Structure 1
Amino acid sequence: MAVMAVVDMQASLLQAVRSIVPPLSHASHKGQAGRIGVIGGSLEYTGAPYFAAITAMRAGADLSHVFCPEEAAPVIKSYSPELIVHPLLNASGDMSSVLEGVSQWLPRLNALVVGPGLGREASQMTNVKHLLQRARERQMDMVIDADGLYLVTQSPECVTDYSRVILSPNAIEFQRLYHKMFGHNPEPSGDMQEQTRALAETLGNLTILRKGATDIISNGQQVIECTEVGCPRRCGGQGDLLSGLTALLYFWARQAQDRLSSDTSLPPSMVACFGASFLIKKCAEQAFNKHHRSMLAGDMVTEIPTAFQKYLELTEQ
């Protein structure tokens, strides 16, 4: 009976995700399906923001913007002409110019991903901390991952009591943030669902997508899981794909909120997290079946169209 209950719940959650996918239509115009911004990248890490941004586009976003340091921009541009790359995030530059440069684009974006490949240089952390405040003032939906989570761990007030943010920590990132908020590490044998719920509640009922063999999602009140198996390969970049897709689905869930309320009691953030977790795990499974130990994050990107069509049943109108 317990297994049946889990299967039924997963099926119900997947149906909720399907309900937020905007139909393809000849009457639509560029931008309606989503304009996603990624704040990240550094001299050493150019792949991470690319993977987040290109995943959003492959899943159906119309536009993806990457805000990065000047030295990272030419490299990221070379990966794909589809991305709009802004070399505005210069750690050594005047902070006010960085804030104004990026902030002028915020009204044109539907959701932000903050952190992929950002690095931990102190002045860059300060810049991004102020950008988070600007985004909060605009009531923007955000997904914070990777080095963005390092910033949150150092300065939790950046996100505390802001319910429109999703944090997507892996095991180590979750442990660090949990220790910051509670003064001790989570018990290794403890109830992982309750740990996730408690941390989300303590941070002001934002949403946490705790990555692992089973992804645990909570907004401090409700808890759900994505039990899809995925694959045993743990190559770099998988979390970046997840963050980009989560941001896009978050925007779609917001757009479909009235319809969503009749299908599920879950808020848009949790539906988005489940949908992104499910689809990325399916992409990993498909890519691993083809490439096995040689699988890379780029192989998962190429699986997005097939996985999306198969599991989220896109249809044209």
Structure 2
Amino acid sequence: MPETILITGGAGFIGSNLVHRWHRNHPQDRIQVLDKLTYAADPKQIEGLDRVELVVGDIQNLELARHLIDKNGVTKVFHLAAESHVDRSITGPAEFIQTNLGGTFAMLEAARQVWAGQQDCRFLHISTDEVYGSLGDTGKFHETMAYAPNSPYSASKAGSDHLVRAYHHTYGLNVVTTNCSNNYGPRQHPEKLIPLAITRMAKGEPIPIYGDGLNVRDWLYVEDHCAALETVMLKGVAGETYCVGGDNEQTNLALIDLLCDLVDQHLGRPQGTSRKLKTFVQDRAGHDRRYAIDATKIQAELGWKAGSGFREGVSQTVAWYLKP
């Protein structure tokens, strides 16, 4: 039967890619997008899709959230809306606490009030691997690992994860949580590393690299992430957490070098042109050294696996940002 799906933050990077995927794979469903349209969102990314309606509003508005869930008979909530840029959380933490904690509370409370114990309705909370802190040279993040957030951003996300857990154990709300590694792909705001580097290379501008460039991240192609979210929504176990990673560990320096080569190739430049733009800058405060995800649980229990090769995904991303 057709359902109404609510996606918070659906005009943002991951959210808009999820809107397109759900629209494509579930053509009978109606998709309601709730988005405040901050600087990181772009309504053009989801316009023109039938059965998709954008509501401009704040996830902290409990009355609005309750109205949308109740009026439209929403049965599934993908909660992606969040402040997510670590640098911004360091210079202005208040907005992160308000949005990521206060907004998640309002969305959970709205769902609890409207659904009133209906176990066929589900709330999927999308979080980050940064709640686990920083890894050494070995090991990977997994679902039972202790939380150790090191930035105002990751602390606010850790708090929202705990709220989601509490609403399941206290009120019986059908919730599931995912913690993902660094995403990349089309439609990402240019403040993030990969689109920032691509756009600067294209303009011949310096590419800033924090510290020694040897911080390691596990990169996940956004389409693979959206496939995981779809899988968890449909097949995940209530109250459970699933770590989602691309199994693509790269130092920032190696990533930048790959981007340089792909941009030069795409623009027909001599190889090595963009590498000359690399500029090392002072390291970020509290910069976690290494992230890596152990995705064994979601692979073994739900049958999901990242399908995109790293070079292939990055090549597609470069082509998207440099298209005429």
Structure possessing the higher relative contact order (Cα contacts under 8 Å, 6 or more residues apart): 1
Q: Which has the higher strand share?
A: 2
Which structure would you say has the larger Rg?
2
Q: Which has the higher helix share?
A: 1
